[in-house]
Amino acid sequence: MKRIIAGVVHTAASAVLMLVGPVGAQNLVYNGDFEETSEAKPPPGWVMWGAQVYKIPENYTRDATDPHGGQACFRIHHPANTAGYIVSAPDHAIRPKPGMMYEVSFWARTDKPGPSQFYFTAYETINPYRDAPSPGRWMIDVTGDWEEFRFAAREGWDFFADRSQYILLTFNATTDQAQDKTLWIDDVAVKELPSDREGRLVDEASLTYEPLQHVLREGSELAFTVDVGKPVRPATRAAGGVSFHRVCGWTGQPFNKEGAYTLAPEIETAIRDMRLPMTRFYAVGDEPFGVEAAIDKAAEVVDKVGVPQDMTVLEFETQGATSTLPPETWARGVKHSRERGYGFRYWEIANEPYIVHAGTAFPTPDDYIAHVKAVSAAVRAVDPEGKIGVAISRDQSWGNYVLKETAGCYDFVVAHYYAVSNIHQRKFEAATLTENYRTLDRLLRTNALIAAYNPGREVYQLDTEWGMHSGGPNGERADYVNRNANIFGTLHRAVRLITYAREGMLRGASSWQMLSNVGGLGFGVLSQQAPDKRCMIYWLYYYLNRHVGTQVLPMDGTAPYYTPAEGDDPQTRPGEFPGPLTPALVTKSEDGKTIYLIAANGSWDKTVPCRMTLRNFAAKSAEGVLLSSDDPNGSPLLERKEDFVHGLAVSVDRDAVTCDLPPHSVSFVTLRSG
């Protein structure tokens, strides 16, 4: 059977896109046939990519044993438990043009039949390397015989040439890092042709939107005035959420596979003490006890730990999107929720369906688009007031295209704004400040794109997973990188949370993840293996959710700024995304009798004095709490609360409030009028 996907013919049985370009079109790939005689490893025109520890030349060699054509092919070997891969050389990068289509073809075989990966790696610049959205990613089902694979990327639909200015062909021998596998490729070609699709998606670069508001102007000191009588907007209190994995989670909590409740009393109390305004469960329809029982158990959990049901997002699809749930299952679960009188109203369709892996239920964006339309109709039929969430990535086809094609079917958008970068190559200030300011700009641009595709409708973003997500210096997975959750990750999250709560750019946010094993604390908050201990991020949420009032107050003044310099961040041009070294948030309580200040100091080594002048408020008392740790590589799991949570001296003299913000710290100040 054949069907049309993204303007090309897709053969369902082989998952190969059959494209035929005009005879004689120039091949844009240098040494794609591997006929250039050379002892170089890898062959000329190709380079090793990824962590340095995996750049082993003997794994990437010219092979004359059994080529598809000519005298040689390219052998790409992936040893078990490694993470190396190969790309076409940046010196010979494809430089795309507006309105053109890029057809890729290559032949491949393997020693272990099964999935390998091909995708485009894109950069806005290559000196330094600045990531750009990928024009496409595909899982290729390779056998022991030579077979041809063909794919296409259309400028204006799959990517935009002004952002993805340098395109590299990327091959990964396996989708399973634990597997030992060899992939051979040959006769790799890319042809540039006029696009076969009319029109274009909305170009995000053409959108106009208000840039990220830093509120405080650049100056030599942190000094500002707050007029308590002139609130700016409601604070986004729902930003302070933390997400569960699933009802029957990978750690065996909060329920086990038999359906028994397993949260230790100490952990249950600890979660309740965070006063979380939001959470999220995924794969609710993939539990061994059925979707109805899973919804009952989700309700039981959030009631026990004090999270509102109406700010709990439920996602039904199978974990890893290895199969889809019928729309009828979605309708059955949502109907059950309504009949039981639960407050659940947010229904997120699939967790990260854009991740390429073996056996995915959504091999193309069009597959996901069709599923969103079907599920949305089924849910709305039983719950007209329910809110449908669509998942997107920053890749053009899985972001912009999905938003366009599903417009009208969704009420909220889930983008998972992880900071994906090598934290060990970045200055502390770049990781905690610049990366946030870059990510928040992308969020605002996405808001503008959502508005462009949904005129006259209220559509907003909910960030149901986010955090620092960096691999380690030797290719370690993010779950095992302490910096993602120690003082680096805590300060990164603090800067994000301050801005989320202050600027009203999304409806709510729930970060990853509630429960971890003590052997992998890269996103650590709590662990049932250490029920009497807390991670650094835990205390951030504990104090944040006690220090975000109902109304954001205006701050008029200055702050010292951080502007990336040469060498601070390999992913950022010098001078890009400057912003306050000490982002801050001031709110007031609903009764107006309490003022809260939250301030992060993103400098590793500089103390910043803070002077806040109050108007229309007489502070009679002041309390301060400080979060800080001096070990950049320390464990996120604390032996003692006192190793991270400290007192902060705060002075009040009439209308002036002063304190010092120590380096790499988050400060919480409470001011009361009576």
By percentage, how much of the chain surpasses pLDDT 90? Answer: 86
Residue 610 has pLDDT above 60, yes or no: yes
The verdict on 32 and 166 lying in the same domain is yes
pLDDT value of residue 7? 32
> The CATH number of the domain where 395 resides is what?
3.20.20.80
Rounded distance between C-alpha atoms, residue 431 and residue 232, angstroms: 29
Rounded distance between C-alpha atoms, residue 291 and residue 73, angstroms: 50
**Residue 478 located in a structural domain:** no
DSSP 286-350: GSTT-HHHHHHHHHHHHHHHT--GGGEEEE-SPGGGSS---HHHHHHHHHHHHHTT----EEEE-
Using 50, 70 and 90 to split pLDDT, how confident is the model at 10?
very low
Q: Over the stretch 13-23, which tens digit does the pLDDT of each residue have?
A: 233 333 444 44
For 658, the domain range is 555-672
Comparing 8 with 430, which gets the higher pLDDT? 430
Rounded distance between C-alpha atoms, residue 224 and residue 343, angstroms: 41
Q: Give the mean model confidence (pLDDT) for residues 39-62.
A: 95
Angle of helix 487-503 relative to helix 435-453, nearest 10 degrees, comes to 40
Q: What is the mean pLDDT of the chain?
A: 93
Cα Rg for the chain, rounded, in angstroms? Answer: 26
The verdict on 186 and 287 lying in the same domain is no
Residue 323 has pLDDT above 90, yes or no: no
**Residue 506 located in a structural domain:** no
pLDDT value of residue 358? 67
Which of 396, 415, 434 is the endpoint of a domain? 415
The verdict on 409 and 290 lying in the same domain is yes
Q: Give the mean model confidence (pLDDT) for residues 398-403.
A: 96
**Residue 124 located in a structural domain:** yes
Rounded distance between C-alpha atoms, residue 392 and residue 145, angstroms: 35
Rounded distance between C-alpha atoms, residue 68 and residue 66, angstroms: 7
Using 50, 70 and 90 to split pLDDT, how confident is the model at 321?
confident
The verdict on 255 and 106 lying in the same domain is no
The verdict on 188 and 288 lying in the same domain is no
The verdict on 161 and 263 lying in the same domain is no
> The CATH number of the domain where 157 resides is what?
2.60.120.260
Q: Over the stretch 201-245, which tens digit does the pLDDT of each residue have?
A: 999 888 999 999 999 999 999 999 999 999 999 999 999 999 999
Using 50, 70 and 90 to split pLDDT, how confident is the model at 24?
low
Burial class of 568 by CB neighbour count within 10 A (0 to 12, 13 to 18, 19+): middle
By percentage, how much of the chain surpasses pLDDT 70? Answer: 96
Domain count, the chain: 3
> The CATH number of the domain where 637 resides is what?
2.60.40.1180
- Picking from 490, 440, 442, 530, the residue whose alpha carbon sits closest to that of residue 629 is 490
Using 50, 70 and 90 to split pLDDT, how confident is the model at 571?
confident
Long-range contacts of 334-342 (CB under 8 A, 24+ apart): 334/379, 334/382, 334/383, 334/386, 335/382, 335/383, 336/291, 336/292, 336/295, 337/295, 337/383, 338/382, 338/383, 340/295, 340/296, 340/299, 342/295, 342/299, 342/309
Rounded distance between C-alpha atoms, residue 90 and residue 378, angstroms: 47
Task: Using the CB atoms, write b or e for 648-671: b if 16+ within 10 Å.
Answer: bebebeeeebbbbbbebbbbbbbb
Residue 12 has pLDDT above 70, yes or no: no
Q: Give the mean model confidence (pLDDT) for residues 152-180.
A: 94
Q: Over the stretch 521-547, which tens digit does the pLDDT of each residue have?
A: 999 999 999 999 999 999 999 999 999
Q: Over the stretch 107-157, which tens digit does the pLDDT of each residue have?
A: 999 999 999 999 999 999 998 888 898 999 898 999 999 999 999 999 999
Which of 367, 386, 415 is the endpoint of a domain? 415
pLDDT value of residue 249? 87
**Helix (H, G, I), strand (E, B), or coil: what is residue 213?**
coil
Which of 415, 442, 463 is the endpoint of a domain? 415
Structure tokens at 117: 């990966």
